[in-house]
Structure 1
Amino acid sequence: MRLILAPMEGVLDHLMRDLLTRLNPFDLCVTEFVRVVDMRLPPRVFYRLCPELHQGCRTPAGTPVRIQLLGQDPDWLAENAAQACRLGAGGIDLNFGCPAKTVNKHRGGAALLGDSEQLYRIARAVRAAVPAELPVSAKIRLGQDERDSYLQNSLALAEGGITELAVHARSKRDGYRPPAYWSLVRDIRRALTIPVVVNGEIWNAGQAAQAREDSGCADLMLGRGALALPNLGATLVRDEAPMAWPQVVALLLAYSDMEIAGDKGLYYPNRIKQWLSYLRLHYAEAQALFARIRTLGQTADIRRRLAEPA
């Protein structure tokens, strides 16, 4: 079983990738998306979202990082894929799964799931621009309003030359509401000869096993579940016990030091509250801690409150 840490815009940045790959045996991380419109982006854009480019495109723990692109124009996506590879990217991922309205109104992310021909053109152009030895993967959902276009879209991407496909087992309309329809991913797995990775609604070992059984996929992509239970990957692969709450608090403090040092605390209050909103899904103690810091806006105040005994 391979484990992949999912891309999550504004959440799974390089600091969180660093933290979670130290705790878990992830085989791969995918960056937040690089939005491509109508130009070749300068190197600083890629370095900002993927500073791991300076270290062989790996996290400090040694986990490979793949750069994700989002856009609708095959030529500009190909141009930026080539740019990323020149900077040292170890592979390219294409985002056709983001359900955000601000992205979809510009025909990015899941908005393209209604146009399998465009998916094919994008995959073909990017594959031609990326060195043959490097992977080009993609992530999709099961459809837009209905769960009905997944097989057609998967085949189009495979014919375009992608080497791996991650499937979030819900439609764009489904958003993140449970359940995830893992059994539908089995149709894709049977139709393709490339690796297929199942994603969505995997919060614990039982759901991980069920997702693999229902989908027929050996490999898993973890997103929100990896934030709610920070050592989720280790519980699946190494049979570790879930982290106890005092360990999580120590992790929050370690992340606080990283965030403040890395970004000078500019976004820290929002980032730590955002992470706690996920931790509340697994830890009752996180709800009380969130309530204690919810109205705080200063980094120092939040840091002191985290360090206080519960």
Structure 2
Amino acid sequence: MILLLAPMEGLLDATLRDVLTRTGGIDRCVSEFIRVTNTVLPERAFLRVVPELLNGSRTRAGVPVRPQLLGSDPACLADNAARLAGLRPHGIDLNFGCPAKTVNQSRGGAVLLDEPELVGRIVAAVRRAVPAHLPVSAKMRLGYNDDRRAEECAIAIAEAGADELVVHARTKAHGYRPPAYWERIAQVREALPAHLQIPMVANGDIWTVADALRCQAVTGCDALMMGRGMVTNPGLALAIKGQGLVPWNVMPDLLLAFWQQVGLRVDRRHRAGRLKQWLNYLRRHYPQAQQAFDELRLTNDADAIQHWFDRVGPAPLIGTTAQAANIEPRAEPLPA
């Protein structure tokens, strides 16, 4: 089974991608979206969101990262894709799934699913603008207010030359509320004519191994994309592949690696919030994370958090367990 790490704006950035891919099991990442409006972005704009481009478009653990573009102007997206291609990315992904109100009001993300013809023109323009060997993929929801045009959008994307399609099994109107409608992904797959069959990736509500196996069975997809499930349980991909778990005694090392990189990439006043944001997810899976979250909940001082790390680890608490789990402790961050 192929497992992808999802883009999550405001959470799953280069720092968290780096840490989560150290645990193993993830085959590829997709970056948060890079917003394209009416200009060709400078290279630094791509590098700011995807610093992995300076590392062969891979995380430090060697997992490929595919940058994602978001916009509604086919020509402008094509021009930006051409510039991005010069940085040798591991493919280019197109966002037709973001449900954020501010994005949709500017004709970006999921709102475009009401215009399958435009979706197809965007994919076709980007496909023509980049070298033939460079994969072009797309990520969509089932629709905007409803899912009546899901099949139409998927056909438009495949017909325009996309190499892969990720489908989040909800509409924009569903938001992130459970359930995910995996059976609709199966219907979308079946609607693609034989000559337009492309690899399809199922996304939505994969929190456990059982979820992954059931999603695969229902959708018929050989590849799955996970977001919140991996943020909550960094060992989920490993477990799905039957390769083990990530126990809590490894987590302080991962948290420290995350904190060190946050210190280099995030303004001081926001650093504590980033750590607590991740701990808030982790406490769903690890009871020990609840204690850590409670201890740091009212703390916004970076020095106080560093003192907390000095007190709880890393050595001797996690040195041997990190090695046993093949997790590289305290690696240097990618270029900021």
* Both structures adopt the same fold (TM-score exceeding 0.5): yes
Alpha-carbon distance between aligned partners in 2 of 1:248 and 1:214, rounded to the nearest angstrom: 33
Which residue number corresponds to residue 86 of structure 1?
A: 86
Contact 1:253 1:303 in 2 (8 A): no
Which residue number corresponds to residue 246 of structure 1?
A: 249
Which residue number corresponds to residue 226 of structure 2?
A: 222
Q: Deviation at 1:308?
A: 4.3
Q: Deviation at 1:267?
A: 3.2
Bigger shift: 262-271 or 149-158? Answer: 262-271
Which residue number corresponds to residue 331 of structure 2?
A: none
| Percent identical residues | 48
Q: Deviation at 1:246?
A: 2.6
Alpha-carbon distance between aligned partners in 1 of 2:14 and 2:231, rounded to the nearest angstrom: 14
Q: Gapped runs of 5+ residues in structure 2?
A: 314-336
Which residue number corresponds to residue 276 of structure 1?
A: 279
Which residue number corresponds to residue 11 of structure 2?
A: 11
Alpha-carbon distance between aligned partners in 2 of 1:303 and 1:96, rounded to the nearest angstrom: 40
Q: Deviation at 1:237?
A: 1.3
Q: Deviation at 1:69?
A: 0.2
Alpha-carbon distance between aligned partners in 2 of 1:85 and 1:309, rounded to the nearest angstrom: 44
Q: Deviation at 1:54?
A: 1.2
Which residue number corresponds to residue 130 of structure 1?
A: 130
Does residue 235 (structure 1) correspond to residue 254 (structure 2)? The answer is no
Which residue number corresponds to residue 52 of structure 2?
A: 52
Contact 2:269 2:300 in 1 (8 A): no
Q: Counterpart of 2:33 in 1: which secondary structure?
A: strand
Which residue number corresponds to residue 96 of structure 2?
A: 96
Does residue 28 (structure 1) correspond to residue 17 (structure 2)? The answer is no
Matches within 5 A, 1:71-220: 71-192=71-192, 193-220=197-224
RMSD over aligned CA atoms reads 1.6
Q: Deviation at 1:191?
A: 2.9
Alpha-carbon distance between aligned partners in 2 of 1:280 and 1:148, rounded to the nearest angstrom: 37
Which residue number corresponds to residue 294 of structure 2?
A: 291
* Change in CA separation of 1:307 and 1:202 when aligned onto 2, cut-off 3 Å: farther
Q: Counterpart of 1:221 in 2: which secondary structure?
A: strand
Which residue number corresponds to residue 40 of structure 1?
A: 40
Q: Counterpart of 2:170 in 1: which secondary structure?
A: coil
Alpha-carbon distance between aligned partners in 1 of 2:212 and 2:309, rounded to the nearest angstrom: 31
For residues 206-248 of structure 1, give each alpha carbon's deviation from its aligned partner in whole angstroms, at most 9, with x where no partner exists. Answer: 000000001110101010101000111111114313x222322
Alpha-carbon distance between aligned partners in 1 of 2:15 and 2:143, rounded to the nearest angstrom: 32
Q: Gapped runs of 5+ residues in structure 1?
A: none
Does residue 301 (structure 1) correspond to residue 308 (structure 2)? The answer is no
Which residue number corresponds to residue 256 of structure 1?
A: 259
Alpha-carbon distance between aligned partners in 1 of 2:18 and 2:286, rounded to the nearest angstrom: 22
- TM-score (norm. length: structure 1): 0.95
Alpha-carbon distance between aligned partners in 1 of 2:35 and 2:264, rounded to the nearest angstrom: 26
Alpha-carbon distance between aligned partners in 1 of 2:294 and 2:102, rounded to the nearest angstrom: 30
How many residue pairs get aligned? The number is 309
Contact 1:253 1:307 in 2 (8 A): no
- TM-score (norm. length: structure 2): 0.88
Q: Deviation at 1:251?
A: 1.8
Bigger shift: 68-77 or 83-92? Answer: 83-92
Q: Counterpart of 1:267 in 2: which secondary structure?
A: helix
Contact 2:69 2:95 in 1 (8 A): yes
* Change in CA separation of 1:100 and 1:264 when aligned onto 2, cut-off 3 Å: closer
Contact 2:68 2:93 in 1 (8 A): yes
Q: Deviation at 1:102?
A: 1.2
Which residue number corresponds to residue 64 of structure 1?
A: 64
Alpha-carbon distance between aligned partners in 2 of 1:173 and 1:270, rounded to the nearest angstrom: 28
Alpha-carbon distance between aligned partners in 2 of 1:70 and 1:60, rounded to the nearest angstrom: 25
Alpha-carbon distance between aligned partners in 1 of 2:310 and 2:239, rounded to the nearest angstrom: 26
Amino acid at match of 1:87: L
* Change in CA separation of 1:185 and 1:285 when aligned onto 2, cut-off 3 Å: same
Bigger shift: 161-170 or 278-287? Answer: 278-287
Alpha-carbon distance between aligned partners in 2 of 1:39 and 1:295, rounded to the nearest angstrom: 42
Q: Deviation at 1:301?
A: 1.2
